[in-house]
Amino acid sequence: MQAGNVDSLWPPERAVMSPERYAELAQRIQPAFLAQMQEAKIPQQRAESLCRLYLPLAAWVHDQKRPGQTFVLGVNGAQGSGKSTLCEFLQLILQVGYGYKVAGFSIDDIYKTHAERQQLGREVHPLLATRGVPGTHDVELGLNILRALLPPQGGKVSLPAFDKAMDDRCPPSQWPVFEAPADIVIFEGWCVGSKPQAEAELADPINELERNEDTEGAWRRYVNRQLAGPYAELYGQFDRLIMLKVPNMESVFEWRSLQERKLAERTVANGANHRIMDAAALKRFIMHYERLTRHNLEEMPLRADLTLFLDEDHHFTRILINR
C-alpha cells in the first residue's frame, strides 16, 4: 500500500492527509486490512483503491473528534449501498491505526421484534408489520445503548443484534458485548439522520404499494411523525453525519437483490430456517423504503457533514464536505 494519489476523491482544498501520514497509517494497518478484505471476499487487487478512500476517511473522523469525549458518527446509505462494509473498515482503521475503542451497530439491530411489529400492524397500520420504516425500530433501546457507551458510564454493554434471515431480533444471549466507555461510536442505517417531509409532500402516493395499501396516507403520515419525534432525538446524538449517495432507485433494487442472494447462500449453507425473499417479494419490500430513500437522496447531501457519491458500478466518484 503506497501513498499514490492519496486524496484523489477529496476536494483539493479539503485534503486531510499528507503522503507521509498516509504511508505511515497504511503500513500500520496493512495486515489487519488485508485480513478484513479476505474475510469480506473482496479481491486483493482492490486494496490500494479502498485504502485511498478509507484511510483519509478515518483521518477525517480522527480530526473531528474532540479529546476526552466520545465521538458519535451517523452513517446513512440506501439499501445495498455498502455502508456496512464501509463502517467495518472504518472501525478497523480507527482501532488498529489510531488505537481507539470503537463500538459499531446498526439501526437494523434495534428493529422491534417480529411479534411487536405484528401487533403494530394490527393496532396502527398493516404496513407497519414489515420491518424497515421509522416506527418499526425500538428507538428507546437505541438511545439507551448510546447512553451506556458514553462516559462516565463503564462496564460491559450488550449491543443488540437482529437476524434478517429469521426476521426477528436475536436473543440477548447472542448480542456482542462491548467494554464501555467507547472513544467512537459508529451508528449506521438506511434511514439514519433522515428528516421528516413537509406535509404537502405526503399527499400523493409514490408507488404501487402506497396507492393500493395506504390509500388515505395514514401509514406514511405515521412514519413522518416518528421522524419528527423519537427519531429526531436519536439522531440528535450524532456529532457528525456521513452519507453514501447511490445514483438512483434502480441501483437500490439491483444491489439489494445481490444482498438477498448472498444472505440466502449463507443461510442455506448454515442449514438454518429463513424468511428469504424472492424477486417479487423484494420489489414489494423495497417499496416500503422508496419514499424516504428518494427524499434522502434529494435533500441529505446538502446538510450531511460528508457525502460519498457512488456511480452505477458501485464505485466512489467524489466526496462533498460540508463541515
275 — pLDDT class (breaks 50, 70, 90): low
Cell triple for 111: 428493529
Q: Is it true that the peptide bond before 181 is cis, omega within 30 degrees of 0?
A: yes
Region 55-68: mean pLDDT is: 94
116 — pLDDT class (breaks 50, 70, 90): very high
Span 127-181, pLDDT tens digits: 999 999 999 999 999 999 999 999 988 899 999 999 988 999 999 999 999 999 9
Is it the case that residue 237 has pLDDT exceeding 50? yes
Element (DSSP H or E) covering residue 41: none
Q: Which CATH number fits domain 52-321: 3.40.50.2000, 3.90.230.10, 3.40.50.300, 3.55.50.30?
A: 3.40.50.300
CB count within 10 Å of CB 39 equals 9
Domain ranges of the chain: 52-321
Region 82-102: mean pLDDT is: 96
**pLDDT reported for residue 5:** 45
Across-strand partners of 189? 76
Is it the case that residue 194 has pLDDT exceeding 70? yes
pTM of the model: 0.91
Q: What whole-number distance in Å separates Cα of residue 111 and Cα of residue 200?
A: 28
Is it the case that residue 258 has pLDDT exceeding 80? no
Region 237-249: mean pLDDT is: 96
DSSP H helix total and E strand total for the chain: 10, 10
Mean of pLDDT over the chain: 91
3 — pLDDT class (breaks 50, 70, 90): very low
